[in-house]
Amino acid sequence: MVVAGPADSDSRYMAIAVREAMRGIGFTSPNPAVGCVLVRDGRILATGYHRAAGGDHAEVAALRSIGFAASGSCAYVTLEPCNHTGKTGPCTEALKAAGVVRVVIGVQDPHGIVNGAGIDRLRSAGIEVVVGVLQSSCEALIAPFRRVVTTGFPYLTLKVAASFDGRVADVGGRPVWLTGQDAQFAVAELRHRADAILVGVGTVLSDDPRLTTRRREGRLGKNPRRIVVDSHLRTPTNARVLDGGATIFTTISQDSDLVRRFVDRGNEVISVPCDATGRVNLEEMFRECVRRSWHHILCESGPTLTTALLFGRWIQRVAWFSAPMFGGAPHLLALPTSIGVGTMYEGPHIVDVAVQRIGKDVVCIGDVFYPE
């Protein structure tokens, strides 16, 4: 008989903590999604996850569910416990006070205010600490958070839906549903987990999208903030994306009558400087997004804005949905123009690619690597 060793048990319980953390994705910004499992004598005492900024952290949520009676237990946490007082107290002190004797951590917190301090505090209190269990899975949970705290810019996922030969519209530019219902539900899940959805004015004019979240089996989905990049405010005031309010980034002055027309209808209009081409300065726009705690942005942009985002090296992840069909408008490709590189080898690469069949369609998901 093979008896599972500590490493096997640690991985098994950390996998449960990862699943717990995933329940909070899309709701916790500006905080990361975190999960926790409390185990004693091979039995799970409690689980918890961080539900929203300002609320209990995952460790406290798990401890609270059992009245903080965790003496002699092991805590499995996807992210290093905090050791400072913010909107909540230090999780290190909560674990210590509850009698936790061992803490297994998926990944160290990259934020400067933590970044090892929680680990040091636990060890100084005589608590055994193990770091790096299922690290890649735990890293994936905090990718948007890491991007923001290390660069000051949001984490962008690009979603593309195209035919096998890269067309994004029918002949004459008519918008069509390229992918099937299963893929559309998959996109809804991507939206549900994002803080905001980004499109350009070209997509608004051609498709008039709502960009709402319609999930499988009638489940309610979170509708992220909708962002329109519209340098010269060409968005129609009756566009469906504006239903319920949206944020428009433009170069038009705030004292313009045109701006007031949108604001009076419940929208937010943010004026930013223009870039060398006279369009919205993307760097300034993304700084504004971070100020609003939109850390993970799903880009459902059309060819023009998508090209600009890739050229500017803003995209960190891609979800490319391919429909099993050919044809369509020959000039409407997902990426119709050069993104400023000489050869394919100099352009962005997609790494750690996962390919999945979703109904009749195929989706390729991977991280973007930009060669130096």
pLDDT of 94 reads 95
Mean pLDDT of 148-162: 95
Mean pLDDT of 184-191: 90
pLDDT of 175 reads 59
Rounded to the nearest 5 degrees, what angle is found at the Cα of 254, between the Cα atoms of 249 and 257? 110
**CA 244, 250, 254, 255 torsion-angle sign:** negative
pLDDT-based confidence at residue 181 (cuts at 50, 70, 90):
confident
Mean pLDDT of 211-222: 70
pLDDT of 89 reads 76
**Where in 152-278 does DSSP place strands (E)?**
155-163, 196-200, 225-229, 247-250, 268-271
pLDDT at 297 over 70: yes
Comparing 85 with 335, the larger pLDDT belongs to 85
Q: Which long-range contacts (CB under 8 A, 24 or more apart) does 240-245 make?
A: 240/208, 240/209, 240/210, 241/199, 241/204, 241/208, 241/209, 241/210, 241/211, 242/266, 242/267, 243/210
pLDDT-based confidence at residue 35 (cuts at 50, 70, 90):
very high
pLDDT at 8 over 90: no
Mean pLDDT of 120-143: 96
pLDDT of 249 reads 98
Mean pLDDT of 7-28: 93
pLDDT-based confidence at residue 344 (cuts at 50, 70, 90):
low
pLDDT-based confidence at residue 177 (cuts at 50, 70, 90):
low
The percentage of the chain sitting over the pLDDT mark of 90, rounded to a whole number, equals: 67
Q: Is residue 304 a contact partner of residue 339, using CB atoms and an 8 Å limit?
A: no
pLDDT of 154 reads 98
Kindly report which listed range (2-11, 54-63, 154-163, 291-300) carries the lowest average pLDDT score: 2-11
Mean pLDDT of 108-130: 93
361's enclosing H/E stretch is strand 361-369
pLDDT at 329 over 70: no
| Average pLDDT along the chain | 88
Mean pLDDT of 34-45: 96
Comparing 171 with 113, the larger pLDDT belongs to 113
Q: Is residue 158 a contact partner of residue 315, using CB atoms and an 8 Å limit?
A: yes
Q: Is residue 147 a contact partner of residue 295, using CB atoms and an 8 Å limit?
A: yes
Q: What domains are there in the chain, each with its CATH number?
A: 6-146 (3.40.140.10), 153-369 (3.40.430.10)
pLDDT of 222 reads 80
Buried b (16+ CB within 10 A) or exposed e, 31-59: bbbbbbbbbbeeeebbbbbbbeeeebbbb
Tell me how far apart the alpha carbons of residues 273 and 259 are, in angstroms, rounded to a whole number: 15
Task: Give start and end residues of each alpha helix (H) in the chain.
Answer: 6-22, 58-65, 91-97, 117-124, 135-141, 143-151, 181-193, 201-207, 257-263, 282-291, 303-311
The model's pLDDT over 65-77, given as tens digits with 9 standing for 90+, comes to 999 889 999 999 9
Q: What predicted TM-score, i.e. pTM, was given to this entire model?
A: 0.88
217 among known catalytic residues: no
Q: Which of 20, 59, 80, 300 is catalytic?
A: 59
